[in-house]
A and B are shown apart, each in its own frame.
Chain A
Amino acid sequence: GAGVSQSPSNKVTEKGKDVELRCDPISGHTALYWYRQRLGQGLEFLIYFQGNSAPDKSGLPSDRFSAERTGESVSTLTIQRTQQEDSAVYLCASSLGLAAQGPQYFGPGTRLLVL
């Protein structure tokens, strides 16, 4: 079916506001991943889900970040009390089967700007 989709594509918010980013993986993909990419830098792993479970949440930068996945489908990444340092592109990816054993298919990303 269709590829990984993310919404919104762009988000501008004020410092201190909460934002919610959404990822719709490829249908049937059991693994889902979130990354952050600051301008001109590499991908920073945040969290991954196998089904609806996240084996390890220690990659999240702070307790202002949280993520959930329901129905082995859509996932949301929530950033509370946003800071300017949160400005980045947030990328979501999904893969078939067990994580790490196959290619990840990336969405176009959500570009977040915190003023």
Chain B
Amino acid sequence: SQKIEQNSEALNIQEGKTATLTCNYTNYSPAYLQWYRQDPGRGPVFLLLIRENEKEKRKERLKVTFDTTLKQSLFHITASQPADSATYLCALYNFNKFYFGSGTKLNVKP
């Protein structure tokens, strides 16, 4: 089966800096990899999707990279703001199942 690993330790950064979150997976590379944001007590909210033939995807202050050789995706938030504080989850699909990482909590301090 597939395993996804995200850093379980919270990431604390200063406002204005770039936050970089890591998602590593084992076994087979998925055709698509997705990133979501989850706030306490709420369902996840979709942020970005990247395909296996795409190296990089951008949306406003967000950037996602996908390296199928390293089996890794990086998620960047530039010019971070306190409102970006949340848990960020990566997700992928393999063999009729969806796998979500346990998420990395980001704390952006003013």
Please give the residue numbers on chain A whose beta carbons come within 8 Å of chain B beta carbons, in ascending order: 4, 33, 35, 41-45, 48, 55-56, 58-59, 91, 93, 99-109
Given A100-B32, A100-B93, A101-B32, answer yes or no on A42-B100 (Cβ-Cβ < 8 Å): yes
Closest to B102 in A: A42
User: Within B80-99, which residues are at the interface with A (CB < 8 Å)?
Assistant: 89, 91, 93, 95-99
Which 9 A-B pairs have CB atoms at the shortest separation, nearest pair first? A106-B43, A42-B102, A103-B46, A100-B93, A56-B96, A43-B100, A45-B98, A55-B96, A106-B44
Bound Cα distance from A102 to B98, whole angstroms: 13
Interface centre among B44, B98, B100 (most CB of A within 10 A): B98
The reply to whether B98 and A33 contact each other, CB–CB distance below 8 Å, is yes
Given A100-B32, A103-B34, answer yes or no on A108-B97 (Cβ-Cβ < 8 Å): no
The reply to whether B46 and A108 contact each other, CB–CB distance below 8 Å, is no
Q: Which residues of A lie under 8 Å from residue B44 when comparing CB positions?
A: 43, 91, 93, 104, 106
The reply to whether A45 and B43 contact each other, CB–CB distance below 8 Å, is no
Q: Which residues of A lie under 8 Å from residue B89 when comparing CB positions?
A: 42-43
Closest to A95 in B: B46
The reply to whether B31 and A100 contact each other, CB–CB distance below 8 Å, is yes
Question: Does B10 count as interface, using CB distance less than 8 angstroms?
Answer: no
Closest to B4 in A: A42
Given A42-B101, A42-B102, A48-B98, answer yes or no on A99-B43 (Cβ-Cβ < 8 Å): no
Question: Does B79 count as interface, using CB distance less than 8 angstroms?
Answer: no
The reply to whether A107 and B103 contact each other, CB–CB distance below 8 Å, is no
Q: Distance (Å) between the CB of B45 and the closest chain A CB?
A: 7
Q: Distance (Å) between the CB of B68 and the closest chain A CB?
A: 16
Q: Distance (Å) between the CB of A62 and the closest chain B CB?
A: 17
For this complex, 17 residue pairs linking A to B, each with C-beta atoms less than 8 Å apart, are A43-B44, A45-B98, A45-B99, A48-B98, A56-B95, A56-B97, A59-B97, A91-B44, A93-B43, A93-B44, A99-B98, A100-B31, A100-B32, A101-B32, A102-B49, A104-B44, A109-B43
